[in-house]
Structure 1
Amino acid sequence: MRTINYLTNDLGEFSLDYNRRQFIHHAGKGIFAATVLSEFPSLANTPQTGNSKTTPDDLKPIQLKPLEDPSEKKDGSLPNPLQPEKRIGYAIVGLGHLSLAQILPAFGSCKYSKPVALVSGDAAKAQTVAAQYGIPVKNIYNYQNFDEIKNNPEVDVVYIVLPNSMHAEFTIRAAKAGKHVLCEKPMATSVKDCERMIEACKTAGKQLMIAYRIQYEPHHKLVKDWVRNKEYGKVRLIEAFNAQNIGDPTQWRLKKSLSGGGSLPDIGLYCLNTARYLIGEEPVSVLATIYSTPNDPRFKEVEETVMFQMHFPNGTQVNSTTSYGVHESRRYRCYADKGGWFGLDPAFPYKGLKMEVSQARDAIEWKSNPSLEEKDQFALEMDHMSQCVRNNKKPFTPGEEGLQDQRIMDAIYESAHTGKIVKLETIKGLDIFRGTPPENK
């Protein structure tokens, strides 16, 4: 195996303080539990630990009587989490911004998942993070001794949160170590690497899931249902926009050897994948242009802006723009033929999604902003992976889903280079590359 010297700062990692509220929350649990048990003796005699085997009672939801009138908005279901020892254990590979700010905190909202190991090039930081999340020091690995994870039965799933060009290597190593893999998007930087990742997990008999959090989020699912059920008529046009004003020109996302590209594989992929998810079909052609501001040091190796169109078999046209060089905007709209449009603005952030609907009735345009309960997107995707591991089911967004996106991105780059429409393989049917649908929670 080739030797790689990894940066000890994990390409942008940072540490988080264990704040006062968290300390009070965790320290207070023991006092609260003791008080409750003294008030309810029957609870004190109930075993507080379980075994690793799941029983039907573990998944039986607790029911409480509603507090509000039936006319009011319904509360969501209770969390009903599994006992910690029965949850699926995750090793987080890479302790950068996404892992520390989103993924690790999301385990607090998970029902079936827990963090049990860390992989980092910065030993001191990894020890700090391990202490914050109760992970034993023995479960800290670096990029060189990563393969020893095969000897750790606590690790069921390896969650790869590394620069794009490293996804293939660590997916293959994880599969060879006998672990299931959850890999951040984009899946890889080439079709060949995507295929290698799929084959490695297939050979090892392990699940491979790509972390397309959008496809597990309630707002996007509702929009998908509206599109497919023709709630406002047939959707003829989808307009998607995902842009941000990227900063530090030395970061890995602006190095082609690590990222594989610029705005397209990073944030433009949300436009591409979300459109495929909403419609359910696969595009038959693409047309694209690329532009980068001359002499901008950020775009010496990767593109700044990509504008691309996708045409789908049912006649729907998708127009998308993605950019690294303008003020942040993350939205999409679906335009239907019966007097209505709908979508999300913002659509692609980790939280704070907002729906918008416009409909014409009786010569009046009615605009509304339906609201849904906000849920942690990373917890939803990790718990789906855990359920698939527990039940030996193919994830909803498996490796084949990531491979299809890579093929389409390659076609977008080809179109931008040649200035011509690029035709894609005709694929018939709905959700061809997707697996087991997530729970409706």
Structure 2
Amino acid sequence: MNSRRNFLQKLGASAVALQLAAVSTWADDKNTVHQPYAGPVLRVAIMGLGSYGTRVGAAMQYCTKAKLVGLVSGSPQKIENWRGSYDIPAKNCYNYDNFDEIKNNPDIDAVYVITPNGLHHDHVIRAAKAGKHVICEKPMALNPKQGQEMVDFCQRAGVKLLVGYRMHFEPKTLEVIRMRKAGEFGKILFFQGLCGFKIGDPKQWRLNKQLSGGGSLMDIGIYAINGSRYMTGEEPLWVTAQETKTDPVKFKEGVDETIQFQFGFPSGATASCLSTYNQNNLDKFFLNGEKGWAEMQPSTNYGPIKGRTHKGELNQPVTTHQTVQMDEFSDIIFNGKQPPVAVDGNEAVKDLKIIEAIYSAVKTGKKLELSS
């Protein structure tokens, strides 16, 4: 709990002020005056109180349009600790056995699923069946088939399905996207995405094929996959990929240690990316065009994100990603706001199709065409 308190303290009062700015204006408008928010507040229950759930819960204390009001966990002790820290009423707390009863709770609007990847499909469908909007961490599912089932079920249930693509609201990232759309880089030629860290405990769920769906690609590699799409503004036409495994004991069959993968895009641009669980200091995006370039390093971690282009340093504000994301999700759910980059289930299915193709390319050694 001390680490959570320290994190809250580090966020500081400055984080509150930063969240008041509209994401769409950060990239190009530094002088807008914003009025205090007086609209509806998205009331959220977090499902899965692990390390990232803890980060989201702490960051939500600074939201203006969303509020943490409920908990779902298999650990009674975690629920007790969180209740004390966040003043959550007992009636808004559930375990995985009685979770379906949330349908009778009018005080919860949405459930944020932050459980291991292999549980997302079931948990999202249960939340939607209960009539709650759903936010799901990425990757949204283990494969495109599961992902599409989740999208279709939420649509039939009449609830929104959003995915935790926090970088889609990050100011420096949005500035690079704005510059690309404005033609400031000219024709895009190349993207590079390097994502990795040296993973620790070999018994954790991320190294369990059943729970994770794979290895580094399903965890950190998805940032390079998704980043290649929003940085170039295109969908890949083909993929090639190669796997390197130096520790088959730690990284068992079906759990990838390091994968290099390449894309080709309709414009002729290409991408070269790396995903690994065996190297630190890898968090970099590079975009090259005929007229200019952009480099971000760190590019996707919790911040501060840093970047520069051929025009100089990127100086957009530093934000708490999860705070901004949850406020933006509130606007999307209640006001139908269209985000600068999609964050819905359909966006996640696109990434899942690419992940599936990368794994297939590793196995076959072939260049695979991607269907639209």
Per the normalisation by structure 2, the TM-score is 0.89
> Could you report, residue by residue, the CA deviation over 1:276-298 in whole angstroms, capped at 9, with x for unpaired residues?
11222211100111111144424
* Cα distance in 1, alignment partners of residues 64 and 299 from structure 2: 25
User: 2: CA distance between counterparts of 1:268 and 1:328?
Assistant: 14
Taking a change above 3 Å as real, the CA distance of residues 95 and 202 of structure 1, as seen in their structure-2 partners, is: same
Which residue does the alignment assign to 2:319? 375
Residues 310 and 297 (structure 1 numbering): CA distance in 2 closer, same or farther, change over 3 Å?
same
Does residue 423 of the first structure (1) align with residue 361 of the second (2)? Answer: no
Shift of 1:108: 2.4
Alpha carbons of structure 1 residues 167 and 79: separation in structure 2 relative to 1, 3 Å: farther
Equivalent-residue separation in structure 2 for 1:125 and 1:348 (angstroms): 28
Q: CA deviation at 1:124?
A: 1.5
Match of 1:273 among 212, 221, 226: 226
2:155 is the alignment partner of 1:199? no
Counterpart code for 1:246: I
2:48 corresponds to: 94
- State the one-letter code of the partner of 1:386: S
Tell me the percent identity: 37
Superposition deviation, residue 133 in structure 1: 0.9
Q: Distance in 2 between matches of 1:256 and 1:348?
A: 24
CA contact (8 A) 2:231 2:287 kept: no
Superposition pairs of residues 45-56 of structure 1, within 5 angstroms: none
Q: Which amino acid aligns with 2:160?
A: Q
Instruction: Tell me which residue corresponds to 2:25.
Output: none
Answer with 295-304 or 264-273: which moved more. 295-304
Q: In structure 2, what is the equivalent of residue 391 of structure 1?
A: 335
1:62-110: CA deviation from partner (whole Å, max 9, x where unpaired): 9xxxxxxxxxx95775572347xx411000000000011x201111221
**Contact 2:8 2:59 (C-alpha < 8 Å) held by counterparts:** no
Provide the secondary structure at the position in 1 that maps to 2:263: strand
Secondary structure class of the residue paired with 1:403: helix
Equivalent position amino acid for 2:294 in 1: F
User: Residue 123 of structure 1 aligns to which amino acid in structure 2?
Assistant: P
Structure 1, unpaired ranges of 5+: 1-13, 27-60, 63-72, 360-367, 428-441
Paired residue secondary structure (2:281): strand
1:15 positional shift: 7.5
How far apart are the structure 2 equivalents of 1:89 and 1:404? Answer: 28
Asked if 1:144 corresponds to 2:90, the answer is no
Contact 2:172 2:314 in 1 (8 A): no
Letter in 2 for 1:204: A
| Corresponding position of 2:17 | none
Equivalent residues of 1:228, 1:278 under 8 A apart: no
Counterpart pick for 2:303 among 335, 351, 356: 351
CA distance in 1 between partners of 2:35 and 2:166 (Å): 19
Deviation at 1:140, TM superposition (A): 1.1
Rounded to whole Å, the distance in 1 between the matches of 2:7 and 2:296 is: 35
Q: 1:413 maps to what in 2?
A: 359
Distance (whole Å) between structure 2 residues aligned to residue 104 and residue 294 of structure 1? 35
Residues 247-326 of structure 1 mapped to structure 2, 5 A cutoff: 247-299=200-252, 301-326=254-279
Task: Name 2:26's counterpart in structure 1.
Answer: none
**Aligned pairs, number:** 355
Which structure would you say has the larger RCO, counting Cα contacts within 8 Å and 6 or more residues apart? 2
TM-superposed CA distance for 1:137, in Å, is 1.8
Q: Distance in 2 between matches of 1:353 and 1:19?
A: 20
SS at the partner of 1:227?
Answer: helix
Match in the other structure for 1:126: 79
Residue 123 to residue 243, structure 1, CA distance change in 2 (3 Å): same
In the TM superposition, what whole-angstrom CA distance separates every residue of 1:397-421 from its partner, at most 9, and x where no partner exists?
1111111111111111111111110
Q: Which residue of 2 aligns with 1:332?
A: 285
